[in-house]
Amino acid sequence: MKALILNSGIGSRIERFTQFHPKCMIELYKDETILSRQLKWLIDMGIGEVVITTGFLAENLIKYCHSLGLPIKYNFVCNSKYNKTNYIYSIYCAREYLKDDDIILMHGDLVFEPQILDAMIELPYSCMAVSTTEELPEKDFKAVINKGNIVKIGTEFFEHAVSAQPLYKFLQKDWLAWLDKISEYCENSITNCYAEAAFNDISNCIKLKPYDFMNALCKEVDTEDDLLEICQKVKIAKERVVYMGFATDIIHSGHIAILKKAARLGKVIVGILSDNVVASYKRFPLIPYEERKALLDNLKEVYQVVEQKELSYRENILEIRPDYVVHGDEWKEGTLKGIRAEVIEILQTYGGKLIEFPYTENEKLIKIEQRMLDELSIPDFRRGRLKRAIEMKGCINAIEVHNGITGLIAEKSKIEAEGGKIYQFDAMWVSSLCDSTAKGKPDIELVDTTSRFRTIDDIMEVTTKPIIFDGDTGGLIEHFVYTVKSLERMGVSMIIIEDKIGLKKNSLFGAEVEQTQDSIEHFCAKIEAGEKAKRTNDFMIVARVESLILEKGMSDALTRADAYVKAGVDGIMIHSRKKEPDEIFEFVDTFRLTDKVTPIVVVPTTFNTVTEEVFQSHGINVVIYANQLTRSSFPAMQHTANLILQNHRAKEADELCMPIKDIINLIPINE
């Protein structure tokens, strides 16, 4: 696409400003002229070749263009008869440069907001800038519209007409038809009329549609009053504030494109979503907040970067009060739909406006996103995410998984809550109980470590979230060392081992079955051996204190926890089988009097009425939902099987079954 800018005229109605240079060089705001503004927008929109017609003070104009140092290929065409002809003849003089591409045509004294041209370029048809909200001018252009097409352009038309400005986008076919007619006029010495007279003769052969810019700035500088009005509007436009929320950690061409569009509207303030917010609704950020902030701070399109501490825009919009909020239109549906509605509601309270640009998902961007997801699943990166998540959020949650499909459920489960908040699981718990149950085995450490590692492999292959491994007792110290090394190498984030010895019995049986608690000295030795075997600080060993389960009392539980911390453990899990959380809270509150930093883990299987917020208020850092997927799946499958047996067919069970299409969507195929 090429641009044609008509700059041959004298500008006699504004002579005081055009004694020493053409009208297009009049300054509008802080060294920005009409022409420099036009050229800047053309470059931003990817147009690198411009044909400029000259006449009056041509040399001054040419020198000025080169002095701007812009990456533009100029073709200057002089209309030597500029004082005797209209711009129809200037177009004719430049015709040889204008036959091989689509054309943007504008008058050299036209001042417009860039989003107008941006929108016109993106339209798939030829168009002209019009305004249905402006009063019809007496002496300026008007466009007559019939059945959605412009059929006449000129100053003399009033019926079925709208105000129009000399800013066009022509597809090559339509342009060549007009150019041929322009050439015919000029070769017959008809050169003192507007070029639009030639268009009117052949408008039935050209599909030129109106683009309605409504109240946006798009006006020619014909008089001093025009200049005063336009300068004021340009100043206001330059001071406008544009707000964008940004979650990304990889800046690609799609982000740059929308930032450029936003920058054309005013000063862009970018709200970088905090790590916690990004992790809560999208995926764990590959790059932490400070680095993401630095990335955007260094982009020329960005005026200022601030932190957005919630997924909701409310706090930042009310503080900044931007004229515009810019976003891609993909949030009209999906988890951000409620956030969008809130943004519109807030903007309406003071007259702000939401501007949405079409979201295009091309193959290259899809591959970039997939590459980022792939990086999240790399062992070294996945392993460290759990500790980072605890540091970021204070309290995280994990849900039990026991195979690839439950891993995908944990990975993709997400809900939108009131106030635009998004909730999802932070991590996955690979339970020995559920792993054994899925294999039809009793929970007595019958499933060997190798088999359990295969379960982890299956889960890791299709997910990216951190994994917490149920290590039972950890086994012999010599064996535990190798378990730690293997899990760390695989990318597991945490192992939890309980301070018991002998044949495993499920803790929820408590003192009802014979269970033997390990000695403090021996268990501390196991912790120390495991910590010594670690190769990174990212992998966490957590000691599960069984004193309350075995009814050994609070004092014993606290004594053991203190000893395990001194042995170097990375966290404490306190367990209880009571239906009320009182003893858990007593333990945590007492422990926190002397230890504010060691992470505490709970598994609220029996005391399941307590919310994560309450756990966090007591200083608990990890809440594990340890068996709910397994326990809920068995009744559902059993009921389905019984229905089929009862009815000798599957129809009655259909309403209990997930559609095959949803299963296919849950399990993506990576190209």
- Catalytic sites, residue numbers: 443
What is the residue-wise DSSP string for 122-166? HSSSEEEEEESSSPPPSSS-EEEEETTEEEEEESS--TTEEEEEE
Q: How far apart are CA 187 and CA 202, in angstroms?
A: 17
Q: At 559, which helix (H) or strand (E)? A: helix 554-566
Is the Cα torsion angle 536, 537, 540, 545 positive or negative in sign? positive
Amino acid code (one letter) for 609: T
Query: Two tokens at 351?
Result: 């007259």
Dihedral class, residue 147 (left if φ above 0, else alpha if ψ from -120 to 50, else beta): left
Q: At what angle do helices 114-122 and 34-44 cross, to 10 degrees?
A: 40
SS3 assignment, position 428: strand
Closest CA to 507 of 634, 630, 626: 626
Q: Are the C-beta atoms of 576 and 583 separated by less than 8 Å?
A: yes
Cβ neighbours of residue 220 under 8 Å, at least 6 residues apart?
A: 107, 109, 110, 111, 140, 165, 166, 226
Closest CA to 331 of 348, 343, 323, 321: 343
Residue carrying the six token digits 């009063």: 135
Q: Are the C-beta atoms of 407 and 401 separated by less than 8 Å?
A: yes
Beta pairing class for 396-400 and 622-625: parallel
Q: Are the C-beta atoms of 139 and 155 separated by less than 8 Å?
A: yes
Closest CA to 76 of 93, 99, 101: 93
SS3 assignment, position 280: helix
Beta pairing class for 103-107 and 2-6: parallel
Task: Quote the radius of gyration of the chain (alpha carbons, Å).
Answer: 35
Q: How far apart are CA 129 and CA 99, in angstroms?
A: 22
H-only helix segments in 398-536: 404-412, 432-438, 449-462, 477-490, 520-533
Nearest 5°: CA angle at 465, between 461 and 468? 95
Residue carrying the six token digits 């059929």: 151
H-only helix segments in 223-360: 224-239, 253-263, 275-281, 289-297, 314-320, 337-348
Q: How far apart are CA 405 and CA 594, in angstroms?
A: 42
Q: How far apart are CA 334 and CA 332, in angstroms?
A: 7
**CB atoms inside a 10 Å sphere around CB 187:** 10
Give the E-state strand segments of 373-476 in sequence order: 396-400, 414-416, 422-424, 427-430, 467-470
Q: Are the C-beta atoms of 557 and 583 separated by less than 8 Å?
A: no
Query: Two tokens at 212?
Result: 């309605």
Per-residue 3-state assignment (H helix, E strand, C coil) for 489-504: HHCCCEEEEECEECCC
